[in-house]
Structure 1
Amino acid sequence: MGNTESVVVQKRLARFRPEERPVVEGVFDRLQAGGGPPGAAAKTSPGKALTLEMLKASMGSVASDSMINRVYRGMCSVDPGPGPAPAPAGSGKTGAAAVSAVSREQLVIFLADVLRGTAEERAPLVAAMSRQGAGGSEVVTCDQIAEFLQDLVSAVVQILVHRGRLQGWKPDRMGDSSLGVKLLAEHMCSELKPSDQGCCDVPCLEDWIFRVPQVSLYLEMLVAEGLSVALSCRPAPTLLPPCRETPWNELRCLLDLPTLMFLAPQLPDSYSAPWKLVFSTRLHGESFTRMVGGLAKRGPTLLLIKDTKGHVFGGFASHAWEVKPQFQGDARCFLFTVFPRLRVYTATGYNQHFMYLNQNQQTMPNGLGMGGQHGYFGLWLDSDFGRGHSRARPKCTTYGSPQLSGDEDFTLDSVEVWAVGKPPEPEEGEEGEGKRSILDVDPEVQAMMEMAGKTLHSQGLREPEEDQEE
């Protein structure tokens, strides 16, 4: 019977609800049955060992062989407590194939530590999965962690695609996910605090896992999906925001799935509305007026910019943009980069220059800016369109961001604006169908406003809405 009734195993099983324990205990027999669905009968007698091939039969549709080998090494590294375990890790052999099998007890403990464990319990498993072989060293390099993360993130993306959890996004009309995988893995790895020699021991990994929750989230998702462990109180995590009303047939999106997985959690918790594309140079042309129309009265928005040097960056606006010569927004705004690195830069508290949007003024700068000050914005798009700057010497005062673009003064390649929150409630008198602008009623008023340097709000706000109805 093995050690199924051991104290170690029973303590791990106690973390699960009574109705969940049979699910966890049944994984071993189901994998021996060929990785079939829950409830499948075992073809072999209980108590025998789990092999790498059995694991591949279950996880092959959602993970690469490299990631499955890593998971297997993690299982083999588990100390099941008193009693023999089949070919444990650290036996002097190397490579996943050198570890012949995993015991029932090792699997149960592994599942408990991945699905219900602490950072302290997960750290040795991550170390084992990051090492190239099954050797006994508990120290891994940052490069090994980065390779592990690439395999892990790639598997999570594969799960989202093959399990139909895309939330309306279309990967074939988006950016290169393989590049996004590397960038997201690099970002997560950047949070490590290795030794001077660039190595990470188990306490270092424990601290990192505690501070970077995505490590546990992605690992839990991989194991739960790959081994079909459906727990009643743990629905599958939603890693992508919903996407609605996007003309995918005409669009080549600047975003990719890993970038979405990175950006969505950065938004404040209350911003859970479906994402909607409200402006794209690919769809609406290179028009500042059209972009203003896409931004204004849309609620919180995410601005994405690609320059001609290939850098991709942008900003999150927590409020609906208003055309006026004053700064607006609050400390929930942030700037970010997508390429060549994934990073987010939040408010420093130094000043409140979060958002700026102006048009058709003679005395104030005309354009869109975030952070810094006039002439030295962390992110600036000129109203003439096609040009902008990101001036940070050495950092943007508002957000602490470095230069985001390839060159300080950059040329635009493309721009996207996504509405990511609930639109503001219309002000009194704004509803009402058939309401006409004063600009339509009296052209002379329009001319007088232009001569006086007044901002033509109606002119800027209505054009894109007409475009979207086409």
Structure 2
Amino acid sequence: MGNAESVVVQKRLARFRPEERSVIEGVFDKLQSGAGGLSGAPGKTAAGKTLTLEMIQSSMGSLASDSLVKRVYQCMCGINPELAGSEKTDRPATSGVSREQLMVFLADTLRGTAEERAPLVLAMSHNAAGPATAVTCDQVAEFLQDLISTVVQILVHRGRLQGWKPEKMGDGALGVKILAEQICSELKASDEGSLDVSCLEDWIFRTSQVSLYLEMLVSECLNVTLSGLPPPTLLPPCQEMPWKESTCLLDLPTLMFLAPQLPDSYNAPWRLVFSTVLHGESFTKMVAGLMKHGPTVLLVKDTKGHVFGGFASQAWEVKPQFQGDSRCFLFTVFPTLRVYTATGYNEHFMYLNQHQQTMPNGLGMGGQHDYFGLWLDSEFGSGHSRARPKCTTYGSPQLSGDEDFTLDSMEVWAVGKPPEPEEGEEVEGKKSILNVDPEVQAMMELTGKTLHSEGLREPEED
């Protein structure tokens, strides 16, 4: 290689540390040798050895669909390593992928800018031999569905589910489609209604998922490991979930989207603290699940099939006043995947009340009394989502199928670090400090202190 490499390839390789460059330069040979049994002798052209579609398939096929493998291969074939920027995919597809084409592809997917990744996304969305100048939103959505499906397969087959059980969760295929639609909703087409390289560049710059998923595709499917960095964690850990007795309203793609919407400080394992499947339709039990568990995510499914909910940034309290802060938000999961954050119009973030005669009894988020963005009545089983045209607190539209909805099922997930017990409160499973240190108890008795809890405790077993 050395001096034979184009200036473009040399600049791309300069992004990598010396030990990483050897990895990048070795991928071509690994792909050729790994497919020897499938394709016979490696393909040759006038320009030298090339990678065939079968060679790419042998590396990616266990994780990626045939459709995505073909997209990647045709994208590589169209790269012109003598050019940079938006012109690098104007080369007619050849009968194989050269070493330099592969290195440009690897460098731009793993360490490229939005400007360098946009032509690759254009080519993979076009999904046909030959150059393309523009694509449609539907073509980009189809490419994203292939890409997201592969990312989910990586999480499953590499054992990175973090305690989640896909077979006990929602429809993953539907989740892939809805997540792709959500990411595509950020696209801004040109005046002609098409998406050229500049449109895609702007989109990739604003949506981090596209670059992250591309990096995972290349590093996992083409087995490119750089710098010993751990793979990205796309799912929050799940703990204490009784999978044998229960299921989950969320699917993996939805969870991949929803978890990063939480504030950075909320990275504790998700713990199911209330479920109508496990605990029945009881407002009192739901309140017990909400209390003293810190930040929570509420998920509601109505009888029309709409799935929606809210994130509460603080522990809930039963009181006739609004609570919470601007980190709270509302969201929809089905039929669309969206998040609606605080507008600053008011501070009606969270509301929880029970057994009051003069104030509404139930759980609410956003809006105002009798006109909440999300409301669950204390007479468990009904609620409303009123927004004409939008909820004042969160700017959200109507979340439910009907403005006044009937509850089908509900879950509450604790997502923050469990709060410390209050002073004097015994942690479950731990003894009081008075039991741990009898000398402290004796000193308190000598000074005339009354041990109020002494007669209230359950007798301990020998």
| TM-score interval, normalised by the smaller of the two chains | 0.7 to 0.9
Partner residue in 2 for 1:463: none
Matched, 1:294 2:289: yes
Partner residue in 1 for 2:58: 57
Partner residue in 2 for 1:140: 135
Q: Output the CA distance in 1 between the equivalents of 2:26 and 2:289.
A: 53
What does the per-residue CA deviation read over 1:115-159, in whole Å, with 9 as the maximum and x for residues that have no partner?
000000000000000003123222111110010101000110011
In structure 2, the CA distance between the partners of 1:45 and 1:51, relative to structure 1 (3 Å rule), is: closer
Quote the offset at 1:309 in angstroms.
0.1
**AA paired with 2:79?**
V
**AA paired with 2:80?**
D
Q: Output the CA distance in 1 between the equivalents of 2:429 and 2:102.
A: 66
Partner residue in 2 for 1:362: 357
Partner residue in 1 for 2:415: 420
Q: 1:386 aligns with which of 381, 386, 406?
A: 381
What aligned pairs does 1:185-334 form with structure 2 within 5 A after superposition?
185-232=180-227, 234-334=229-329
Query: 3-state SS of the aligned residue for 1:200?
Result: coil
Contact kept? 2:363, 2:375, Cα under 8 Å: yes
Contact kept? 2:376, 2:383, Cα under 8 Å: yes
Partner residue in 2 for 1:73: 74
**AA paired with 2:199?**
C
Q: Output the CA distance in 1 between the equivalents of 2:4 and 2:298.
A: 55
- The RMSD of aligned alpha carbons is 1.9
In structure 2, the CA distance between the partners of 1:378 and 1:4, relative to structure 1 (3 Å rule), is: farther
Matched, 1:409 2:404: yes
Partner residue in 2 for 1:468: none
Matched, 1:33 2:36: no
Q: Output the CA distance in 1 between the equivalents of 2:273 and 2:139.
A: 41
Matched, 1:13 2:13: yes
**AA paired with 1:11?**
K
TM-score (ref. length: structure 1): 0.86
**AA paired with 1:21?**
R
Q: 1:127 aligns with which of 105, 122, 125?
A: 122
What does the per-residue CA deviation read over 1:185-208, in whole Å, with 9 as the maximum and x for residues that have no partner?
000000000023321010110000
Quote the offset at 1:430 in angstroms.
2.0
Which region of structure 1 is more displaced relative to structure 2, 127-136 or 305-314?
127-136
Unaligned runs of 5+ in 1: 37-41, 83-87, 92-97, 436-470
**AA paired with 2:7?**
V
Query: 3-state SS of the aligned residue for 1:20?
Result: helix
Quote the offset at 1:427 in angstroms.
1.7
Quote the offset at 1:234 in angstroms.
3.5
Query: 3-state SS of the aligned residue for 1:248?
Result: coil
Quote the offset at 1:5 in angstroms.
2.9
Contact kept? 1:73, 1:89, Cα under 8 Å: no
- Identity over aligned residues, as a percent? 78
Query: 3-state SS of the aligned residue for 1:416?
Result: strand
Q: Which runs of 4+ in 1 moved over 4 A?
A: 1-4, 42-47, 432-435
Query: 3-state SS of the aligned residue for 2:55?
Result: helix
Contact kept? 1:76, 1:89, Cα under 8 Å: no
Query: 3-state SS of the aligned residue for 2:19?
Result: coil
Q: Output the CA distance in 2 between the equivalents of 1:4 and 1:349.
A: 59
In structure 2, the CA distance between the partners of 1:434 and 1:59, relative to structure 1 (3 Å rule), is: closer
In structure 2, the CA distance between the partners of 1:161 and 1:50, relative to structure 1 (3 Å rule), is: same
Query: 3-state SS of the aligned residue for 2:413?
Result: strand
TM-score (ref. length: structure 2): 0.88
In structure 2, the CA distance between the partners of 1:45 and 1:392, relative to structure 1 (3 Å rule), is: closer
Which region of structure 1 is more displaced relative to structure 2, 65-74 or 120-129?
65-74
**AA paired with 1:278?**
V
What does the per-residue CA deviation read over 1:407-434, in whole Å, with 9 as the maximum and x for residues that have no partner?
0000000000000011222221222669
Quote the offset at 1:4 in angstroms.
4.8
How many equivalent pairs are there?
419
Quote the offset at 1:280 in angstroms.
0.4
Partner residue in 2 for 1:373: 368
Quote the offset at 1:367 in angstroms.
0.4
In structure 2, the CA distance between the partners of 1:7 and 1:426, relative to structure 1 (3 Å rule), is: same
